[in-house]
Amino acid sequence: MNAHDPTQVDPVWLRGMTRRRISRRDLFKYAGTGAGALGLAAFLEACGVSGTQPAAPPSEVGTPAWWAKQKQAGELNFANWGYYIDVKKGRHPSIDRFTQQTGISVKYQEVINDNYEFLSIIRPTLQAGQDTGYDAMVLTTNSPVLDLVIHSFKWAIPLDHSLTPNFNANADSAIKNPPWDPGNKYTMAWQTGLTAIGYNPKLTGREITSVKDLFDPKFAGHVGMMDDPQELGSVGLLAIGVDPAGSTPDDWHQAADFLKKQKDAGIVRSYYGQPYINHLENGDLWISQAWSGDVVQSQKSGYTDLKMVVPDEGGMQWTDNMMIPIHAQHPLDAIKYMDYVYDPYAAALIADFITYVTPVPAARDVIMNQLHDAVAANNPLIFPTPEMKARFKQYYKFKDNAEADEWNSIFNPIAQG
Amino acid sequence: MEQHLQSDRPGVARHGSRLGKRLAPYLLISPGGLWLGIFFLVPMLAMLSLSLQTGSIDTGFRQTWNFGVYPHAIGEYHKYFLRSLLYGGVASAATLLISYPMSYWIAFHGGRRKTTYLLLLLLPFFVSFVIRTLAWGFILSDEGILFGTLKSWHLLPSSFRVLNTGTAVVSGIAYNFLPFMALPLYVTLEKIDRSVVAAAGDLYASKRETFLRVILPLSVPGIFAGVLLTLVPAVGDYVNASILGGTENHMIGNIIQTEYLYNFNYPLAAALSFVLMAGMVIGILAYARVLGTREIEEYV
């Protein structure tokens, strides 16, 4: 197979390497190569990635005068997260009801899996000043992406609240005028949820009450943590007794050390995104950081052993927010839909199915008396009681991009094995 | 056209056809060349350029010829490069050990049902890559059909686990890339002239000797192509590590993904990708020099 011995150096090659001769012809060749290299250098110089600033919208976009000019198009493209709306026989009853009422047909797309990833996808389009194809999208408060999009880049169209009567009348006070978007200038909440602890008492052998249980060596190899730096860092802060909202970089380092010890002791099985729930279901994980709605949906689909607890130290509260990305083609249809989900009946249809905290308290009566689902109506994870609300903790709010980078650079290396 | 020209102005026609002859090879390779140029060379140069820039996503990235990113990328992340190479290498070796007997049997003893066996081999691969990896996760699960059963028979200690360890990642890669090894091996083994094998027997070679001194050397091109086709994608794979891996099993692909999609550190992601690619190219050239490439085109 192999004709020549690789250890033996070809004498012709050796001669070529040891003698240096440049003919006139070679000189031209080298000159050509040189010119090529210069051209390459120019090419390398030319490809830059421009910043996100230039796409600032024309100033009249989002003013009442601008909104008055908008016409209903009869269609709406809505980008949302997976498993986040009511489903019945392959259709979404709450959306069908909206189409009946308004004549607007909705293309509902479950295209968001992660805030950062979604921003990475839409960024080039928005930066080029073009329409993303979505008229409404949903981003989460626990991610710096939300602040980047609405405040740093100004990539959301300011809302006109004279067009949102349902929101004005029915929205929970907690999500009206929220700290992440004063005056709801750009956003309205889709749902709120908690990051708490999911567990299987049959496997842990005891009830779980504290975030410290995530650090118990007895559960070594069966503890699930989240790979998202905000989730991971916040639970680390809770574990060392610091409220994430008021934490300092010193606290972040201490929390990271604590999490590092947990990892080095072999307690953590892995750092998960969404799939943690499947591992809780099949018993690989005994206890895990968990999003409230997931555990309730799991219980409903037959995993009745699973339990969800808001630990003594508190659960991290996040809110997913609807907004209209800049250059959207059907803004009026979008704002009508965003307001429609604040209609108590629509909110009830959605909340009863997905079991996250609804932003419409009035949905409770509908669930109780019209949908006849007393279990859901009395579920403190959908309609939190005051005692439950007292245990909601807020994420740290980054002052700027550099601070978010600092947080990520502290907590990312832990999840990055 | 040619006919017409020839009758009218023979000189030009002859010149034209000579030009055509000289241009023919270039014209023939131009679709492939353009493809490579547009979809490989230009993006690769753009990536190289990006790796030397500095900035952030809000202010944009500007070319500053920041060559320092390369020592940083290698210094900081060499652990992941080495681990990827280790996982990819072990997985390729495993696919080789698993598929060689299989391909050999199909090629030499498959008879009329060869195509059926090949189809059976390929059947699982009609299912999406990610779904297959998730299914593999189910199989390797602590209380799953495999280990759950063995544990219930007390053949394994209850603390035994494979999922979310390096073993799971390597086995996932080996499973996912198996056909890329098995098919080229099958093609080479199938093409081996049976009279050569018979001749070895006639010359009193034992079965073992026939295999070691005739069949195995003749199947080297298949091994070469198979290892190439599994090792290269395996080293860059990130799906298996993210689905089957645990706390210390990330591969370089996972790091590149994180830097690009989550940290928006485009230059670092580009530099890591470039180092990975350059390393693989150098490695493959060295490997090709050892095993020879003359007959490879037939199998790749």
- CA-nearest residue of chain B to A151? B58
In a domain, B83, yes or no: yes
Give the angle subtended at the CA of B38 by the CAs of B34 and B43, to the nearest 5°. 150
The most confident of A200-209, B122-131, B218-227, by mean pLDDT: A200-209
- Identity of the residue in B63, B159, B289 whose CB atom sits nearest the CB atom of A45: B63
- CA-nearest residue of chain A to B76? A413
Nearest to A280 by CA among A295, A259, A262, A302: A295
pLDDT at A300 (0 to 100): 79
Condensed to tens digits (0 to 9), the pLDDT of residues A267-321 reads 999 999 888 998 999 999 999 999 988 888 888 789 999 999 999 999 999 999 9
Number of Cβ within a 10 Å radius of residue B177: 26
pTM: 0.81
Residue A263: C-alpha distances to residues A144, A219, A258, B274 (Å): 25, 12, 9, 31
Could you list the residue range(s) of the whole structural domain that residue B35 is in? 2-51
Question: Measured between beta carbons, which residues in chain A are less than 8 angstroms from residue B289?
Answer: 6
Spatial neighbors of A395 by CB under 8 A, at least 6 apart, are A141, A142, A230, A234, A244, A245, A316, A318
Residues B159 and B257 in one domain: yes
Could you list the residue range(s) of the whole structural domain that residue A112 is in? 64-192+318-379
In a domain, B63, yes or no: no
pLDDT at B43 (0 to 100): 92
Condensed to tens digits (0 to 9), the pLDDT of residues B45-81 reads 999 999 999 988 777 888 999 999 999 999 999 999 9
Residues A265 and A407 in one domain: yes
Spatial neighbors of B121 by CB under 8 A, at least 6 apart, are B102, B106, B178, B179, B182
In a domain, A148, yes or no: yes
pLDDT band for A188, please (50, 70, 90 cuts): very high
Q: What is the CATH number of the domain that holds A200?
A: 3.40.190.10
Residues B109 and B245 in one domain: yes
Residues A122 and A173 in one domain: yes
Q: What is the CATH number of the domain that holds B252?
A: 1.10.3720.10
- Identity of the residue in B142, B261, B291 whose CB atom sits nearest the CB atom of A117: B261
Residues B34 and B87 in one domain: no
Residues A97 and A221 in one domain: no
Residue B127: C-alpha distances to residues A248, B92, B122 (Å): 48, 21, 10
- CA-nearest residue of chain A to B142? A284
In a domain, B61, yes or no: no
- Picking from B49, B76, B77 by the largest number of A CB atoms within 10 A of its own CB, the best residue to mutate is B49
The count of structural domains within chain A is 2
The count of structural domains within chain B is 2
Residues A76 and A167 in one domain: yes
Q: Is the ipTM of this complex over 0.85?
A: no
| Residues paired with A393 in a beta bridge | A316
Which DSSP symbol is given to B67?
T
pLDDT at residue A172 is higher than 90: yes
pLDDT band for B1, please (50, 70, 90 cuts): very low
Question: Measured between beta carbons, which residues in chain A are less than 8 angstroms from residue B55?
Answer: 49, 51
Residue B34: C-alpha distances to residues A9, A36, A225 (Å): 36, 18, 47
Measured distance CA(B296)–CA(A13) in Å, rounded: 24
Distance, in angstroms, between B120 CA and closest chain A CA? Answer: 30
Which DSSP symbol is given to B40?
I
Residues B247, A116: C-beta atoms closer than 8 Å: no
Question: Measured between beta carbons, which residues in chain B are less than 8 angstroms from residue A404?
Answer: none
Residues A179 and A130 in one domain: yes
Residues B112 and B20 in one domain: no
Residues A305 and A234 in one domain: yes
- Picking from B87, B262, B299 by the largest number of A CB atoms within 10 A of its own CB, the best residue to mutate is B262
Helix (H) or strand (E) holding A350: helix A344-354
Residues A107 and A174 in one domain: yes
Measured distance CA(B24)–CA(B27) in Å, rounded: 5
Condensed to tens digits (0 to 9), the pLDDT of residues A11-27 reads 555 454 444 455 556 66
pLDDT at A50 (0 to 100): 64
| % of residues, chain A, pLDDT over 70 | 88
Residues B163 and B270 in one domain: yes
Residues B178 and B260 in one domain: yes
Rg of chain B taking only CA atoms, in angstroms: 26
- Identity of the residue in B57, B245, B247 whose CB atom sits nearest the CB atom of A268: B247
Distance, in angstroms, between B97 CA and closest chain A CA? Answer: 21
- Identity of the residue in A52, A114, A417 whose CB atom sits nearest the CB atom of B58: A52
- Picking from A2, A38, A40, A49 by the largest number of B CB atoms within 10 A of its own CB, the best residue to mutate is A49
Question: Measured between beta carbons, which residues in chain B are less than 8 angstroms from residue A417?
Answer: 245-250
Nearest to A413 by CA among B195, B60, B262, B103: B262
Residues B60, A48: C-beta atoms closer than 8 Å: yes
Residues B248, A43: C-beta atoms closer than 8 Å: no
